[in-house]
Amino acid sequence: MHHFKYRGDQLYCEDVSIREVAEKVGTPFYLYSRATLERHYLAFEKALKGTSHRICYSVKANSNLAVLALFARLGSGFDIVSGGELARVLKSGGDPSKVVFSGVGKGTEEIGAALEAGILLFNVESLPELREIDRVAGLLGKRAPVAFRVNPDVDPRTHPYISTGLKQNKFGIPIEEAVEAYRLARDLPHVEPLGVDCHIGSQLTEIAPFLAAVEKVKGLIETLRKEGIAIRYFDLGGGLGINYDEEEPPHPTEYGRALIRHTQDLDCTMIFEPGRVIVGNAGILVTRVRYTKENLGRKFIIVDAGMNDLVRPSLYQAYHRIQAVERKITENITADVVGPICESGDFLAQEREIQPYEQGDLMAVMSVGGYGFVMSSNYNTRPRVPEILVTEDRYFVVRKRETAEDLMRGESIPPFLQR
């Protein structure tokens, strides 16, 4: 459920006309709906009502300061994977005591900054990393709260690039080796093992893999408690999918109900790290048609947004719905929607049934609120596009369009090349 709807033939976000924003701000741009963001967050929260839990929104999905500030105001915690994300959380008014820090390669400085900030939990992914956290905490005179990210070897049945809980993935430690790892954590002076973490993948469209992981982790928690290691937190990561095309992922209510049922006797505070399910359908990418052409019978619609602005179609063969900002009542054509980048992989849609767009028309690429702007790059020296936040009948530019000057900042020509 989202707040992008037609009024007559015009696409609106809440009470704002997309065409009007395009005329003021220029294209391309990302645009997010506050009402949708809030609705999704609150639906997730409501689904977990009655159980001891903490929602740590996964910053990597959409890390704009305004989006983070919105979740911070709703009481959300945050799942971070870098010192940069920690800085964003702090700047947006997030509470560091509700932050969990994941990722296989945390750096010394990042660990130090998280300890100084006083985060809730480090999700540790290897023994060398545990030792490094212990060392840094010792230097700072602190004790680091840790959980191991265990790999339960469960198939999430999603795209291979976003599957993380299988044996062959780089993430976590094998669940079979976890008890040994926790014993080491118990014996080190500057870490305190308080939780167990697992995240098996992203864009899951079924509940069964989550429950399979839960069952395996439950067994581990019981064993650890018998060893005298008092586990208080069970972090199940993120991963709940959204509807992009035909998939029918479980509603958060269904997900929440199943998880509560399987964890209520565990006496743990459950931590969830949802990203996509909260922000995915709350954002669109608006782009303008530059040219249309036909090569030997194949139709191309060339737009001003490219794979540098939205990489998901090229990288994961991801499907994103395309909607006209001004609907025409006419027969559809089949065409590829491509960007201006010098690569054949630069497309937003291939062989898509679509209305016959003409030069100057606007289109909205749907469901790009998660892993959209955050994965954009400056390839081909293309400035990153603005981000707009809509609330009711107002909109705010929450990130300005970059300029070519911005992109060259920090570069220099050494004296031997100057003339």
Residues with catalytic annotation? 342
158 near ligand LLP, rule: CB under 6 A: no
DSSP classification of residue 204:
B
Q: How far is the CB of 351 from ligand LLP (least distance, A)?
A: 21
Which of the stretches 35-43, 45-53, 253-261, 274-282 binds ligand LLP when contact is defined by CB under 6 A?
274-282
Cα gap 3→284, rounded to integer Å: 11
Tokens representing 369? 């609120």
- Supply φ then ψ for residue 21, to 5 degrees: -65, -45
152 near ligand LLP, rule: CB under 6 A: no
Number of amino acids touching ligand LLP (CB under 6 A):
21
Do strands 387-391 and 298-303 pair parallel, antiparallel, or not at all (unpaired)?
unpaired
Three-state secondary structure readout of 316-365: HCCCCCEEECECCCCCCEEEEEECCCCCCCCEEEEEEEECCCCCCCEEEE
Q: Which is nearer to ligand LLP, 27 or 203 (CB)?
A: 203
355 near ligand LLP, rule: CB under 6 A: no
125 near ligand LLP, rule: CB under 6 A: no
Burial class (CB within 10 angstroms; exposed 0-12, middle 13-18, buried 19+) of 37: buried
Contacts with ligand LLP in 185-204 (CB under 6 A)? 199, 202-203
Q: How far is the CB of 273 from ligand LLP (least distance, A)?
A: 4
64 near ligand LLP, rule: CB under 6 A: no
Cα 122 to chain centroid, rounded: 19
Identified binder of ligand LLP from the candidate list 134, 273, 309, 346, rule CB under 6 A: 273
61 near ligand LLP, rule: CB under 6 A: yes
287 near ligand LLP, rule: CB under 6 A: no
Query: Among candidates 369, 283, 366, which has minimal Cα distance to 323?
Result: 366
The four Cα atoms 203, 206, 212, 218 give a dihedral, to 10 degrees, of 70
Cα gap 92→86, rounded to integer Å: 10
Q: Which is nearer to ligand LLP, 203 or 287 (CB)?
A: 203
Q: How far is the CB of 289 from ligand LLP (least distance, A)?
A: 25
53 near ligand LLP, rule: CB under 6 A: no
Q: Which is nearer to ligand LLP, 12 or 101 (CB)?
A: 101
Cα gap 34→18, rounded to integer Å: 15
156 near ligand LLP, rule: CB under 6 A: no
239 near ligand LLP, rule: CB under 6 A: yes
Identified binder of ligand LLP from the candidate list 102, 308, 367, 376, rule CB under 6 A: 102
Cα gap 305→301, rounded to integer Å: 11
Q: Which is nearer to ligand LLP, 12 or 233 (CB)?
A: 233
Identified binder of ligand LLP from the candidate list 40, 53, 54, 312, rule CB under 6 A: 312
Tokens representing 200? 């098996």
Q: How far is the CB of 53 from ligand LLP (least distance, A)?
A: 15
> What angle in degrees, to the nearest 10, is found between the helix axes of 252-263 and 34-47?
30
Which of the stretches 213-221, 223-231, 270-278, 403-411 binds ligand LLP when contact is defined by CB under 6 A?
270-278
Give CA separation, 30 vs 100, 200, 215, in Å.
Answer: 28, 29, 40
Q: Which is nearer to ligand LLP, 83 or 238 (CB)?
A: 238
Cα gap 276→205, rounded to integer Å: 12
Identified binder of ligand LLP from the candidate list 234, 371, 373, 395, rule CB under 6 A: 371
Compute how many other C-beta atoms are within 10 angstroms of the C-beta atom of residue 305: 28
Interacting residues with ligand LLP (CB under 6 A): 58, 61, 79, 102, 162, 199, 202-203, 237-240, 273-277, 312, 316, 370-371
